[in-house]
Amino acid sequence: MAMSTPSSQAGEPPATKPTVVLVALWGVSHFAPMVEVGKRLLALSGGHSLAVDVLVVPSPTGKWEAEIFERISREEASGLDIRFHHLPAVEPPTDYMHIAGIEEFVSRYVQLYVPHLKAIVVSGLACPVAAVVIDIFCTTLLDAPQELGVPAYVFLISSAAMAAVLLRSPSLDEEVPAQIEFVELEGGVDVPGLPPVPASNLPTGLDNRKIPTYKWFVYNGRRYMETDGIIINTIAELEPSVLAAITDGRCTRGIPTPPVYTIGPVVAIAPPAEDKHECVRWLDSQPPASVLFLCFGGGGGYFSVAQVHDIARGLERSGHRFLWVLRGQPEPGTKLPTDANLAQLLPDGFVERTKDRALVWPARAPQKEVLAHAAVGGFVTHCGWSSITESLWFGVPTLPWPHAAEQHFNAFMLVAEMGVAVGMKLDKERSNFVEAAELERAVKAVMGDGEAARKVRERAMEMKAACRKAVEEGGSSVVSLQRLHDALIQGAVEPKK
């Protein structure tokens, strides 16, 4: 699809306000927070001081395309001064099937868009450019703003801890001899501001120095230092020690990092739907804080039959109420889960035996509406950062069940650093399998009346209060966002031709 601007802008005089160029990836969990950052910047001054242009990188596979276009249509209809430009399709790297990890693929794929980014910044925007803001693994795109003399920022949709481990990775790579794997280090991996990190909890790709993806983690961490600022989807009160380590230069061997802006939690909260979802209606009939919610993200959430049966046994034996979003295996040639056939997946008689205290939902569910409900008292999550920020926003303690990417690292943070979760043993060698007995133990620990449950509930409620305060007037994230806004205005330049 060719570059375009929305029809609502046609015929209007060229903007004179500095524009922030957001480069948005095709995944909803990346696209939505990036656009939300633009909306928050506009809200600071009612849209009078900045404009926002979003460059939409097309999906190389078509995954998420329909949902992204639907979101763009909603944003264009909102009347906000946000212009969307659809970048043209390009052929992905020809050897992408052999690339070790998604991080390397994304880095190499978006690098093909450097000429397109330069062209639209130079000739597609009729105003000074305040900055180009790139996604977490898109540092190959930094070549474009650098060549044009335009400020560049990186937006991490993940935690400050993730920023720390990425910034730390170049020096860690130099300090640990190449022949030694991180799993061999006694006491875990040293990331300033964090407890020692077990190698098994490092983000996938950074935990194995033999694969190409490892080099891309180090590469991205090194290039963050070339930016004019690092924007993070967190709040200062959630990760104070790791933020201090970043800003003090302890993650970068004393070399000052670019300014850090904590502007989270970036959670877009829509008004309640007029017609309640069936899951929400079911929750209306449950006691307060009595239901365990199991949901594993929009792009995943499907399990083998053997794992489904162990989940069912663990939930049934726990004795607690639950709302389980259970998805089916993807269709051949696709990666997204399908609506589940409960009769084929669940053990015989399970639905009948648990019908008085449970709902198994076989399709997508409105996660934020469910987490907001007073009946929900715990959340089994795959530990994507968006899901974590939503659980913190609503004050719901978690049972982490990570699968891939940075999710194991997030799970470690939830338990060891933030104290808002009860840990659960899983077998990474068996696709992160969790035995029925372990799930039963963990459910009882987070949903029961014991000391562990009390502590995580209290901590989750403290984080809920901190998140709400951070985005109120004078709150830490609002102050940080204002600093970012002012830096963008002051740094606006005409790009080099």
**Mean pLDDT within 367-395:** 96
Q: Which helix (H) or strand (E) holds 369?
A: helix 367-371
Return the pLDDT at 260.
98
Tokens 């795959």 found at: 382
Is pLDDT above 60 for 197?
Answer: yes
CA-to-CA dists, residue 344 to 223, 329, 339, 361, angstroms: 49, 12, 12, 14
Rounded Cα distance between 153 and 442, Å, is 40
Is pLDDT above 80 for 423?
Answer: yes
Model confidence band, residue 9 (pLDDT cutoffs 50, 70, 90): very low
Q: Strand (E) positions, 337-492?
A: 338-339, 358-361, 376-381, 398-400
Which of 274, 271, 293 has the alpha carbon at shortest distance from 282? 293
Tell me if residue 373 is catalytic: no
Is pLDDT above 90 for 432?
Answer: yes
Rounded Cα distance between 270 and 484, Å, is 25
Active-site entry in 81, 135, 207, 310? 135
Return the pLDDT at 1.
31
Q: Do 136 and 157 meet the contact criterion of CB atoms below 8 Å apart?
A: yes
Q: How many Cβ atoms are within 10 Å of 400's Cβ, its own excluded?
A: 25
Find the DSSP H helices in 124-263: 143-148, 160-175, 212-223, 240-247
Tell me if residue 98 is catalytic: no
Judged by average pLDDT, the poorest of 53-67, 92-106, 136-150, 424-438 is 92-106
Compute φ and ψ for 284, nearest 5 degrees: -55, -25
**Mean pLDDT within 293-309:** 86
Model confidence band, residue 300 (pLDDT cutoffs 50, 70, 90): low
Model confidence over 135-160: pLDDT tens digits? 998 999 999 999 999 999 999 999 99
Return the pLDDT at 305.
95
Q: How many Cβ atoms are within 10 Å of 273's Cβ, its own excluded?
A: 10
**Mean pLDDT within 439-459:** 96
**Mean pLDDT within 295-320:** 90
Q: Do 159 and 142 meet the contact criterion of CB atoms below 8 Å apart?
A: no
Model confidence band, residue 298 (pLDDT cutoffs 50, 70, 90): low
Strands 321-325 and 291-295: parallel
**Mean pLDDT within 224-248:** 97
Return the pLDDT at 99.
61
Active-site entry in 30, 86, 403, 408? 30
Is pLDDT above 90 for 64?
Answer: no
**Mean pLDDT within 97-122:** 86
**Mean pLDDT within 91-111:** 78
Return the pLDDT at 28.
85
Is pLDDT above 80 for 418?
Answer: yes
Is pLDDT above 80 for 301?
Answer: no
Average pLDDT, the chain: 91
Model confidence over 386-409: pLDDT tens digits? 999 999 999 999 999 999 889 999
Q: Which residues have C-beta within 8 Å of that of residue 48, sequence separation ≥ 6?
A: 17
DSSP letters along 447-485, please? HSSSHHHHHHHHHHHHHHHHHHHHTSTT-HHHHHHHHHH
Is pLDDT above 60 for 5?
Answer: no
Burial per residue of 168-202, b for 16 or more beta-carbon CB atoms within 10 angstroms, e otherwise: bbbbbbeebeeeeebeebeebbebbbbeebbeebb
**Mean pLDDT within 441-468:** 96
Model confidence over 481-492: pLDDT tens digits? 999 999 999 999
Find the DSSP H helices in 190-231: 212-223
3-state secondary structure of 43: helix
Judged by average pLDDT, the poorest of 68-72, 242-246, 378-382, 399-403 is 68-72
Return the pLDDT at 93.
84
Judged by average pLDDT, the poorest of 119-128, 242-251, 328-337, 478-487 is 328-337
Return the pLDDT at 54.
95
Tokens 């481990």 found at: 165
Is pLDDT above 90 for 15?
Answer: no
Is pLDDT above 80 for 63?
Answer: no
Instruction: Please state, for a pLDDT cut of 90, what percent of the chain lies above it.
Output: 74
